[in-house]
Structures are given as C-alpha cells and as structure tokens.
Amino acid sequence: MNTPHSHHRLLLTGAAGGLGQALRGRLKANCQVLRLSDVVDLGAPQVGEEVFTADLADAAAVHSMMAGVDAVVHLGGVSTEQAWAPILQANIVGMYHLYEAAREHRVRRVVFASSNHVTGFYKQGQTITADDPPRPDGLYGLSKAFGEDLSRFYFDRYGIETACVRIGSSFPEPRDRRMLASWLSYDDLHRLITACLTTPVLGHSIIFGMSNNAVTWWDNSRARHIGYVPQDSSDVFRERIYQSTAEPDLTDPAVQFQGGAFVKMGPL
C-alpha cells in the first residue's frame, strides 16, 4: 500500500487498545511524527513517535496532548458496553475535551472511531445509509451517537472536519456469522483512515467501517467523496465460519438485530 504523508504530526488516541496497536505501525506511513496517547503507560517511543499519557476526562491533559498536532485519529475511550460512569467520563466528557482542545489549537481534521452500535437496533434484514437515524443498542452506542452529534456541531460552528467511522468488527479474521457482514480488516481500516485524512474535502461525514463483504447491512454511497476502496473481504472465511458455528436461532435478539449481543447487555 502506497500511503501518502498527509500531515506532519498525527495524534492517535487509544494507542494501547487493540485497534490502536494494530494501527501504531501502519499510521507511521501517514506522517512524519506519530504522537501516541492513552491513559495507560505506552512505554518508550520508537523512532518517529512521541508518547503522551493523558486521561480524556482531564481537560488540561487533553489540551497539552493536542499542542502542535495537525490531525487526530481518535480511538480513545471506553470501547465496550459498561456502566454509565466510565462511559460518561471517557466518551462524553472526554469527547468534549478533545474537540475543545482541537478548537483551541486550530486542529482542522479528526477521524473519530464511532461504532456500528450507534445503529444496533436496526434489523439484520435491513440495509441502512448514513441518513437513517441512530438507534443505539446500549449506553456505549448512545455515547458514540453523542460523539457524532458533538463533532457535527464543531464542524458547523468551527469548521473542524470529522469523519465518524462506524467501525463494524475489526479483527484479524471474522469470528462468527454476524461478522461476515460487519468485518473490517486491519488493512482496510488503515485504508479508510488514510482516505479520511487525504480526501480534499471531508466535511462532516458518517462512514460505515466495513470491508468489501458480499453480505452487508450498510450502504456507504453517502461517503463516496472520501475515496475509500476496501480491498479485503470476509467472503474467504465464509465456508469455515459456517462449518464451525451452529445454525442461528432466529428468535434470539442477538441474531435479529445488527448490534448482536450488545442488544442484550445491561439491565433489562
């Protein structure tokens, strides 16, 4: 993959997480300096890296983290369904701190890791576009819907361009039948982020983060101006997945809805 240098200093938040680790080496091709941030210790920086420990709930730390940054790939925050308190601090208060710091430091472009769980209560038999309203499947999905709205406000008011990437299921391989529709390879994730960083006019865009899967619930036609062309597909794993998993129970909400097991998590 020939990756153009789009920015001098690129900030990657949530660098210690699963996707952060997958992107750490890949994103070095997008910039001269990759600044890595997380709430946990990331160890010593490698060549071409800067390391910054910051809690997103700490406004002063986030402000310092953003100094000198040209663009942000924001993966930081709570990434699973949890109790309200940690989601509130990391994904809502932290998101506000991130955009306020971006405004103050005149950072003009953000790639925000939203989630398919923003629309998790659509049925798996439906195909939706970015124009369809959110239907979060839990507190986590609700916080990502807030992040999309917050980023739209900062675009409308302050001109900060944002790509809200509704990441499906990004793993080395799909793990079950649901992921045949939602799978996003690590390389396609990098291609998608690169497209968001390099497209001439990003605006405020909602993009479904998926590979070129034959089975899909999401129509990305509203994001063609990004220039994302996925090159991987879950199709090569389909036969193995079918052989290794049971027939789905069509009465199970996790099978009925796009959010899978997330629709059943938390108090009922």
Active site residue 154: no
- Contact present, 63 and 101 (Cβ < 8 Å): yes
CA distances to 14, 127, 128 from 19, in Å? 8, 26, 25
214 closest CA partner among 241, 250, 187 = 241
Please give the single-letter amino acid code of residue 61.
A
- Contact present, 105 and 70 (Cβ < 8 Å): no
Of the residues 99, 122, 140, 228, only one is catalytic, namely: 140
Cα(29)–Cα(32) distance, rounded to whole angstroms?
8
CA distances to 131, 145, 211 from 139, in Å? 21, 10, 26
Active site (catalytic) residues: 140
